[in-house]
A and B are shown apart, each in its own frame.
Chain A
């Protein structure tokens, strides 16, 4: 037998279920109190720093950060169920997203003691909001083409270049920048890249909006014009940037945000069908089934990651299937609706947002075309 692409499913234990219900009860109250309006794709589109701080107070941010750095020393599985509950209810989690998912684990793995103490407690409290600067105008899927350059100066580096698609840079405090610190080596295209922790308020940083096709402002172009970064804000080793950014991809790609971005729409469609606002159609059951299976598959990958098992290929499988499915839900509900016949503001609010967000689902965090290549490699085809 060839090795399975995805680790075997595991069932949720009682402590996780208890935590899940605790988070759910809190979120139900928040919705009932009008604290937020449930929406789709909230991990990109809904910022609410006060809500994020409240999660921090409850111990639901920086859960896997050790207590000595202000975190909660809990497992990735506990973080997983909290994350799922936040996403399904459509809570405004964009402010915490990048810091909680990627920046914290990266700092723990590659950061200096001083960096950990400087950033991790404020990530766990929800006071520090991070972005991430990888893509560039000429470096999308092919990140080795990064042109932003870091030049050695006294006591640090000067960064010059342009980052694009930086989610929430206009709201965030700092971001991680991947920059070239050595001339390109044709024999090893991924050599000579380094990671920097950059203050988005530093002199020389200019942030311009890139409006999405619905007119919303989530993405930015960030220009760095000789921005000074002191030596103590280099992340990890100079020249090891590629290895550092790819080492965390399993967490980034396999999480529940890869199949739950449109769950609020699916849930609303279930009620609409029940109440005759949408026609009865078996496609609903088919989509619900896929979400249920993806929930199990994503949890299985989280379990493997918790056990430090290799899971890059499994994460790619979750992301390809999940992002396709969450987008298909938007299109499916659209095929059932008859504009002009049914007045249903809530359904259309969610549906229209989902349709407009959908193209991004299969692009962000590695396009499905790139990830299919990762799966093919896992099968031994390349």
Chain B
């Protein structure tokens, strides 16, 4: 279909189909071979090594910095498929944020496992995912009027271990302020972009979880029989499933749109704040429907530790609240909409900017 598109009218936003096929196979195999779900999620070093071999751990980082130089279309596909398999690896933290920050700061990257965080003025960062597993933590620090990036090795910070809602490693990290102040300065835009990149990458992951949830739910309601027929034959159940699948589709459309705007402009499009906000809002509110309806359709078995469903629903809920709550993003969108006002709202909806492009 995309081959017939006239680029003056519309442009495709799809990831490389060969890459998607390879990733689908890889994560299907991973899902089939892994052991039963547990209440906690620990870093999978073996999977990480395999992903590293394939050049996937820093897929979107530039080739000069040791990355694979792929587009965010490809990157979003990787995040989604990995999340759909509940893969316990910090792809986003290491490959999409830490690698990018180091590059923006002109700092070297030896490729060892990194996670990322934004410490407060006292040097404390909360909910640092996979902090215990990282060789080094990349901190983005607002130092007075300046933004700094510091690559702080494992032995130079204090970690209090924790777990997030999904059961992933999620730590409190206390930095030595001197280490943060010694970081390389970066442009102010890096600080703003960090938030956008993180939020959008989380959206891609949640979309991936949604898509696997749709598969699980459809398979279950076609198979599970009550009253002498598959429960998917009941209209009430069909409605549950149709609604969750429709919400997942809307979340996907919003996320892909923001990814396209980011990719096409190399993150410089002034309409990105709106686009990422739309993705965050649609994904976040969709999660309410998808998680609720999926658990309802799956019945009691879906609430058990042994079932795959929670490996998707828990991370979906944990991740929708990262890089800004749904409420904060709805506030941002409200602010953009009210300042656009009656006459410019449609321009905002279509381009992310209140004034039409010239």
Contacts of A286 in B (CB 8 A): 281, 285, 330, 333
Q: Tell which of B215, B249, B339 touches A317, judged by Cβ atoms closer than 8 Å.
A: B249
Asked if residues A13 and B7 are in contact (CB atoms below 8 Å), the reply is yes
Q: Which of A142-150, A181-189, A274-282 contacts B (4 or more CB under 8 A)?
A: A274-282
Asked if residues B24 and A295 are in contact (CB atoms below 8 Å), the reply is no
Q: Tell which of B9, B221, B336 touches A75, judged by Cβ atoms closer than 8 Å.
A: B9
The smallest beta-carbon distance between A12 and chain B, in angstroms, is 6
Contacts of A300 in B (CB 8 A): 253
Q: Roughly how many angstroms separate A286 CA and B335 CA in the complex, as a whole number?
A: 11
Q: Which of A43-51, A127-135, A243-251, A301-309 contacts B (4 or more CB under 8 A)?
A: A301-309
The smallest beta-carbon distance between B326 and chain A, in angstroms, is 8
The smallest beta-carbon distance between B144 and chain A, in angstroms, is 31
Q: Tell which of A7, A266, A299, A379 touches B345, judged by Cβ atoms closer than 8 Å.
A: A266
Asked if residues B250 and A16 are in contact (CB atoms below 8 Å), the reply is no
Q: Is B13 an interface residue (CB 8 A)?
A: yes
Q: Is A273 an interface residue (CB 8 A)?
A: yes
Complex interface residues of chain A between 1 and 17 (CB less than 8 A to chain B) = 1-2, 4-17
Q: Is A297 an interface residue (CB 8 A)?
A: yes
The total of chain B residues at the interface (CB under 8 A) is 73
Complex interface residues of chain A between 281 and 333 (CB less than 8 A to chain B) = 281-286, 288-297, 299-300, 303-304, 307, 309, 317, 320-321
Asked if residues B13 and A381 are in contact (CB atoms below 8 Å), the reply is no
Asked if residues A373 and B235 are in contact (CB atoms below 8 Å), the reply is yes
Contacts of A297 in B (CB 8 A): 249-250, 253
Q: Tell which of A2, A280, A282 touches B214, judged by Cβ atoms closer than 8 Å.
A: A2
Contacts of B339 in A (CB 8 A): 274
Asked if residues B242 and A320 are in contact (CB atoms below 8 Å), the reply is yes
Q: Roughly how many angstroms separate A128 CA and B346 CA in the complex, as a whole number?
A: 31
Q: Given A285-B334, A382-B233 in contact, is the A303-B10 Cβ separation under 8 Å?
A: yes
Asked if residues A11 and B6 are in contact (CB atoms below 8 Å), the reply is no
Q: Is B139 an interface residue (CB 8 A)?
A: no
Asked if residues B232 and A381 are in contact (CB atoms below 8 Å), the reply is yes
Complex interface residues of chain B between 1 and 29 (CB less than 8 A to chain A) = 1-2, 4-14, 24
Q: Is B199 an interface residue (CB 8 A)?
A: no
Asked if residues B241 and A289 are in contact (CB atoms below 8 Å), the reply is no
Asked if residues B342 and A289 are in contact (CB atoms below 8 Å), the reply is no
The smallest beta-carbon distance between A287 and chain B, in angstroms, is 9
Asked if residues A289 and B1 are in contact (CB atoms below 8 Å), the reply is no
Q: Which chain A residue lies CB-closest to B239?
A: A372
Asked if residues B282 and A293 are in contact (CB atoms below 8 Å), the reply is yes
Q: Which chain B residue lies CB-closest to A346?
A: B342
Contacts of A273 in B (CB 8 A): 334, 337-338
Q: Tell which of A289, A295, A317, A380 touches B246, judged by Cβ atoms closer than 8 Å.
A: A317
With most chain A CB atoms within 10 A of its CB, the pick from B10, B252, B281 is B10
Asked if residues B257 and A9 are in contact (CB atoms below 8 Å), the reply is yes
Asked if residues B1 and A7 are in contact (CB atoms below 8 Å), the reply is yes
Asked if residues A24 and B356 are in contact (CB atoms below 8 Å), the reply is yes
Contacts of B343 in A (CB 8 A): 267
Complex interface residues of chain B between 231 and 270 (CB less than 8 A to chain A) = 232-233, 235, 237-239, 241-243, 245-247, 249-254, 256-257, 260-261, 264
Q: Tell which of A10, A17, A289, A303 touches B277, judged by Cβ atoms closer than 8 Å.
A: A289
Asked if residues B242 and A10 are in contact (CB atoms below 8 Å), the reply is no
Asked if residues A294 and B341 are in contact (CB atoms below 8 Å), the reply is no
Asked if residues A290 and B282 are in contact (CB atoms below 8 Å), the reply is yes
Q: Is B278 an interface residue (CB 8 A)?
A: yes
Asked if residues B10 and A289 are in contact (CB atoms below 8 Å), the reply is no
Contacts of B335 in A (CB 8 A): 285
Asked if residues B9 and A15 are in contact (CB atoms below 8 Å), the reply is yes
Q: Roughly how many angstroms separate A51 CA and B246 CA in the complex, as a whole number?
A: 36
Give the size range of A's interface with the partner.
35 or more
Q: Is A270 an interface residue (CB 8 A)?
A: yes
Contacts of B100 in A (CB 8 A): none
Asked if residues A10 and B12 are in contact (CB atoms below 8 Å), the reply is yes
Q: Is A376 an interface residue (CB 8 A)?
A: yes
Contacts of A11 in B (CB 8 A): 10-11, 13, 257, 260-261, 264
Q: Roughly how many angstroms separate A184 CA and B329 CA in the complex, as a whole number?
A: 56
Asked if residues A282 and B331 are in contact (CB atoms below 8 Å), the reply is yes
Q: Roughly how many angstroms separate A292 CA and B258 CA in the complex, as a whole number?
A: 11
Asked if residues A15 and B8 are in contact (CB atoms below 8 Å), the reply is yes
Q: Is A212 an interface residue (CB 8 A)?
A: no
Contacts of A7 in B (CB 8 A): 1
Q: Roughly how many angstroms separate A17 CA and B239 CA in the complex, as a whole number?
A: 37
Contacts of B38 in A (CB 8 A): none
Contacts of A290 in B (CB 8 A): 250, 281-282
Q: Is A77 an interface residue (CB 8 A)?
A: yes
Complex interface residues of chain A between 189 and 215 (CB less than 8 A to chain B) = none
The smallest beta-carbon distance between B182 and chain A, in angstroms, is 39
Contacts of A78 in B (CB 8 A): 9
The smallest beta-carbon distance between B323 and chain A, in angstroms, is 16
Asked if residues B342 and A271 are in contact (CB atoms below 8 Å), the reply is yes
Q: Tell which of A4, A88, A295, A299 touches B249, judged by Cβ atoms closer than 8 Å.
A: A4
Q: Given A282-B327, A289-B278 in contact, is the A380-B218 Cβ separation under 8 Å?
A: yes
Contacts of B137 in A (CB 8 A): none
Q: Roughly how many angstroms separate A13 CA and B218 CA in the complex, as a whole number?
A: 36
Asked if residues B13 and A9 are in contact (CB atoms below 8 Å), the reply is yes
Q: Which chain B residue lies CB-closest to A322?
A: B250
Q: Which chain B residue lies CB-closest to A307?
A: B1
The smallest beta-carbon distance between B289 and chain A, in angstroms, is 11
Q: Is A225 an interface residue (CB 8 A)?
A: no
Q: Roughly how many angstroms separate A213 CA and B257 CA in the complex, as a whole number?
A: 40
Q: Is A268 an interface residue (CB 8 A)?
A: yes
Asked if residues A288 and B218 are in contact (CB atoms below 8 Å), the reply is no
Q: Is A263 an interface residue (CB 8 A)?
A: yes
Show 28 A/B contacts (Cβ-Cβ < 8 Å), sorted by A.
A2-B215, A4-B249, A4-B252, A5-B245, A8-B256, A9-B13, A9-B260, A11-B261, A88-B346, A89-B346, A267-B345, A274-B341, A281-B334, A283-B330, A284-B334, A285-B330, A288-B337, A292-B257, A292-B349, A293-B253, A297-B250, A303-B10, A372-B239, A373-B238, A373-B242, A379-B214, A381-B237, A382-B238
Told that A273-B338, A289-B330 touch, could you supply 13 new A-B pairs with CB distance under 8 A? A4-B249, A9-B253, A12-B350, A13-B9, A16-B9, A268-B342, A282-B331, A284-B334, A285-B336, A290-B281, A293-B250, A296-B256, A317-B249
Closest 7 CB pairs of A and B: A285-B333, A285-B334, A289-B281, A376-B238, A282-B330, A375-B242, A293-B254
